[in-house]
Amino acid sequence: MQLENWTFTLKHGPRPVAKWNWSEFNQLPQSKLTRDIHCVTTWSKFDTAWQGVMIDDILAAAGIDAPTQFLLAHSFDGYSTNVPAADLIGGRAMVATRYDGRPITPDHGGPARLLVPHLYFWKSAKWINALQFTERDTAGFWEERGYHMYGDPWREQRYSGD
Ligand SMILES: Nc1nc2c(c(=O)[nH]1)N[C@H]1C(S)=C(S)[C@@H](COP(=O)(O)O)O[C@H]1N2
Ligand SMILES: [Mo]
């Protein structure tokens, strides 16, 4: 992914609300989060250190409050995943551009990935290019294939019946 081709769009339904290129996005307020992360299979990784732009700061830069209760994250590879708005705001999630003090490597979602550390890691969309507010909770890639709509690791919400 060439950084000059990178864009990130905030949308409400089909309508773009704000759009940033790489240099504009990197001028947004930077924050750090150090959190444990949880894969759906078995592993957890403790005290992972991330840097990026909090979703709160993305909404503030766009001049909006969450217009609906649900979002879909979309990625350059066609991946998508749904997350409630309440789980992305209030200092709980970011679009991360750095991991462990360095730019996120391409295999881990660089240049930028969603980070929602309190949900299973499939919710943390790699290679993110849009966040879209939706009127209804809408299944993404894995949720359409039987993964849980919410994905709370503490309640082991892996599959749709959990
Ligand atoms: N764009 C995109 N994001 C994605 C995925 C994917 O296939 N495409 N896989 C998800 C899954 S299932 C997991 S477990 C994590 C893996 O992140 P990692 O490669 O940094 O460990 O990314 C998530 N984000
Ligand atoms: Mo996964």
Per-residue HEC secondary structure of 35-92 comes to EEEECCCCCEEEEEEEEEEEHHHHHHHHCCCCCCCEEEEEECCCCEEEEEHHHHCCCC
Q: Where are the domains of the chain?
A: 3-155
**Is the separation of the CB atoms in 63 and 12 below 8 Å?**
no
Give the predicted TM-score (pTM) of the model. Answer: 0.98
Residues 30 and 24: their CA atoms lie apart, in Å, by: 12
pLDDT tens-place string over residues 103-117: 999 999 999 999 999
The dihedral formed by the CA atoms of 115, 121, 127 and 128, expressed in degrees to the nearest 10 = -50
Can you tell me the mean pLDDT for 5-26? 98
pLDDT tens-place string over residues 30-44: 999 999 999 988 789
User: In the numeric block, which tokens belong to residue 44?
Assistant: 């957890």
Nearest CA to ligand 1 atom 15: 122
pLDDT tens-place string over residues 82-138: 999 999 999 999 999 999 999 999 999 999 999 999 999 999 999 999 999 999 999
Closest ligand to Cα 125: 1
Residues 103 and 97: their CA atoms lie apart, in Å, by: 6
Distance 124 CA to ligand 2 centre (A): 10
Task: Give ligand 1 pocket residues (Cβ under 6 A).
Answer: 39, 75, 77, 79, 108-109, 121-122, 124-127
Domain at 3-155, CATH from 3.30.70.360, 3.40.30.10, 3.40.50.20, 3.90.420.10: 3.90.420.10
